[in-house]
Amino acid sequence: MTAPRLAPLPPEQWDEPARNMLRGKVSLADRYLSGAPDAPPMPNILGVLGHHAELAGAWLGYNGTLLERSALDARDRELIILRVAWRTDSTYEWAQHVRLATRAGVTEAEIAAVARGHAAPVWTASDQVLLAAADQLLDRHAVDDATWAELVRHFDIRQVLEVLFVAGSYLCLALVCNSVGLQLDSDMAPPPTFARPETEERP
């Protein structure tokens, strides 16, 4: 979309009760909500959530566990999120999590390989099963027996549960971003266009 269906709520239109509903959930969000003169610009996703502060506070509280108190390594989490963002054509989610993935140690070559899926030669066995699980959850709404067996071989059960929740949670967020026409933040570089395979191999 060239214009948002739902414009982010500007910071100056947030009242203090709304800010308080979101504070203390994710440390990065607290910086945007501080109201301090040197506070960084509020990202568009937070501005959209500002239209429903009670929902936003609950979402950030839950999401804070996946982002800041996760049993999964940040790199593993970001690979799943990038695959979901790619498969759902969620430009905002992709651009945001390319930055987070890079900080978590995902290389440029690996980011490009996310578009090719689990069969790309750059992946380790544990990477492959994460990407395969993400695809199966998107396509079939469940992982199959073989993928489950590989997940529990590489990850403990808390981490396996987070694999499922991360994929589902960021599918939900991608649906929101795409449906409201969320535009990139001013400091986001437009994501590169990766060639989408004519027939993308799926597990």
Residue 118 DSSP class: T
pLDDT category at 10 given cuts 50, 70, 90 is confident
pLDDT, tens digit (0-9, with 9 covering 90-100), for 29-57: 777 777 667 777 788 998 999 899 899 88
Find the range with the poorest average confidence among 1-15, 29-43, 54-68, 161-175: 29-43
pLDDT category at 17 given cuts 50, 70, 90 is confident
| Amino acid, res. 127 | D
Rounded Cα gap, residues 177 and 160, in angstroms: 26
pLDDT, tens digit (0-9, with 9 covering 90-100), for 67-97: 889 999 999 999 999 999 999 999 999 999 9
Rounded Cα gap, residues 43 and 175, in angstroms: 17
Domain boundaries, the chain: 11-67, 72-180
Q: Tokens in use for 41?
A: 């610009």
pLDDT, tens digit (0-9, with 9 covering 90-100), for 87-141: 999 999 999 999 999 999 999 999 999 999 999 999 999 999 999 999 999 999 9
Which of 177, 174, 170 minimizes the C-alpha distance to 6? Answer: 177
Superfamily of domain 72-180: AhpD-like (1.20.1290.10)
CB contact at 8 A, 74 and 161: no
Query: What integer pLDDT is reported at residue 48 of this predicted model?
Result: 94
Rounded Cα gap, residues 65 and 69, in angstroms: 5
